[in-house]
Amino acid sequence: MKVFCGRANPTTGSLEWLEEDEHYDYHQEIARSSYADMLHDKDRNIKYYQGIRAAVSRVKDKGQQALVLDIGTGTGLLSMMAVTAGADFCYAIEVFKPMAEAAVKIVEKNGFSDKIKVINKHSTEVTVGPDGDLPCRANILVTELFDTELIGEGALPSYEHAHKHLVQEDCEAVPHRATVYAQLVESRRMWSWNKLFPVRVQTRLGEQVIVPPSELEKCPGAPSVYDIQLNQVSSADFTVLSDVLPMFSVDFSKQVSSSAACHSRQFLPLASGQAQVVLSWWDIEMDPEGRIKCTMAPFWAQTDPKELQWRDHWMQCVYFLPQEEPIVQGSPRCLVAHHDDYCVWYSLQRTRPDENDSAYQVRPVCDCQAHLLWNRPRFGEINDQDRTDQYAQALRTVLVPGSICLCVSDGSLLSVLAHHLGAEQVFTVESSVASYRLMKRIFKVNHLEDKISVINKRPELLTSADLEGKKISLLLGEPFFTTSLLPWHNLYFWYVRTSVDQHLAPGAVVMPQAASLHAVIVEFRDLWRIRSPCGDCEGFDVHIMDDMIKDLNVTGLHSICPAAAQKLISCWNILSTGD
């Protein structure tokens, strides 16, 4: 059976429906996933292996059979570790069908088919009983259900269900416990990824300031976490306002609740400043004693930074407070971590809140629409004053008396720059209703609603009437488009420039006038791991997964460029042999 897959055309920006094999999206998901990165994470693998050995040993010491439930088995690695550690039987749950099929083959390849049963179901669908998927409840629970935010992959509901229906009351869990940490900081750089700052433009008449509407300033912003490699952030980009605070822990060996909750920690600010951003990470303890620990802490929170493990599948988090708040050194405040079954968010309080108060469980959401239109890097671009100055400098070289400008980027302030720098008339095209409404509000608060015409259309649908019968002498673009997920998708500007050609005056200037693609060959110490073959992982052969990812990547590329596909095969073979 065939399926239709929707995807944005990188040339036109429009959504198109393509007929693909029914498993196409799932297979590509594996090819693009971080499975390889996880399997290359030596620290993670060793700690899991140690924790599993210890758990099996504790169960055996009680004179019991070691029956393991592995939720989210992936390649089956943790199940094979469990059997090698002495487990009597392991039930490996994997909901993702292509991955479950790969796990069956990997388990068979390594000779564990008689001790590991791969079950292609969601764990909440698994049954226990004489005719069920499991004959009885397991007494060891092994999982790797965590993302950068810890709970974003549904760890809490999965654990909650498992304890109620799939494992014994006194089961061993690997990992045994997780703890989430937070640190409050002031950071203009990071805050610029969340709020629109005033933008300054130098004109012949002096400085003009583009101010954000009050709705944007009051908006709590996007509630979603921002994954980041904090080890790559310069310490000069933030000021630490608090110690590292353990916000909450989850004991996976006991009944887990997925209900909304909040956890507060009182602290004494280390410095006075504007509380804006919460940096967060977590660690997991594989054993009840906490001797086997795997941590995501950035280097400054590590006891031995020299042994820092690089990871890309787990990173650290940046959360933005709903509003920045002034705090005073030494004056007590409370940082509150809120979470529901999938998400975490933070707030700052003057006193410790009632953690059972339902008012504290309401997740803040964007109500200004800017955070729906602009992602975090886009906010950073707009707030980059140096970038704005360069655009202004370029505009000064092309604007002449009587210039009629058309801006074709989504949610761009270039139209405002063009007006302030002397354009006679400015039109801006906003292809979405969200960007149209946002720009109307920005123009209104800056008293430009009668000076810049906003057109809610796709550029290729423009008519002469939309432009009041005038010909465009300057076509502007940053370019930024909401349909552009990758840098080269901005070739959409090339398409737009062609589609509006009929509206351009003779000799019209197009800015940007040209584009070039640059590439450089580099050697990474770690980043290559996310795409390199794994081969052998802790003594287990996972070549089957490597071959599957290679075949999927090559198949997808071959349909576009056979020569490039052949190059990919050669590169993969080099990585496989280590040459």
The residue behind tokens 């940046």 is: 318
Amino acid at 139: N
Angle at 413 between CA 412 and CA 414, to 5 degrees: 90
Task: Identify the active-site residue in 144, 149, 172, 430.
Answer: 144
Regarding beta strands 452-455 and 425-429, do their DSSP bridges make them parallel or antiparallel, or are they unpaired? Answer: parallel
In the chain, % helix, strand, coil (3-state, to 5) comes to 35, 25, 40
| 219 vs 165: CA distance, rounded Å | 42
User: What stretch of H or E contains 542?
Assistant: none
Inter-axis angle of helices 543-558 and 97-109, to 10 degrees? 140
CA of 334: how far to CAs of 81, 183, 273, 349, 547, in Å?
Answer: 43, 12, 15, 5, 51
Contact in structure between 507 and 471 (CB atoms under 8 Å): no
Q: What are the E-state strand segments in 43-104?
A: 67-71, 89-93
Torsion region of 578: left, alpha or beta (phi above 0 gives left; psi -120 to 50 gives alpha): left
Q: Three-class SS of residue 285?
A: strand
- The answer to whether residue 153 is catalytic is yes
Question: Containing H/E element for 20?
Answer: strand 15-21
Instruction: Of 186, 199, 201, 163, give the one whose Cα is nearest residue 71.
Output: 163
In angstroms, the CA 285 to CA 246 distance is: 14
**Catalytic residue selected from 20, 101, 108, 153:** 153
Task: Tell me the C-alpha distance between 76 and 436, whole Å.
Answer: 49
| CA trace torsion 80, 83, 84, 87 (10° rounding) | 150
Please indicate whether residue 144 is annotated as part of the active site: yes
Find out whether 253 and 55 touch, Cβ atoms under 8 Å.
Answer: no
> Which residues form the catalytic set?
144, 153
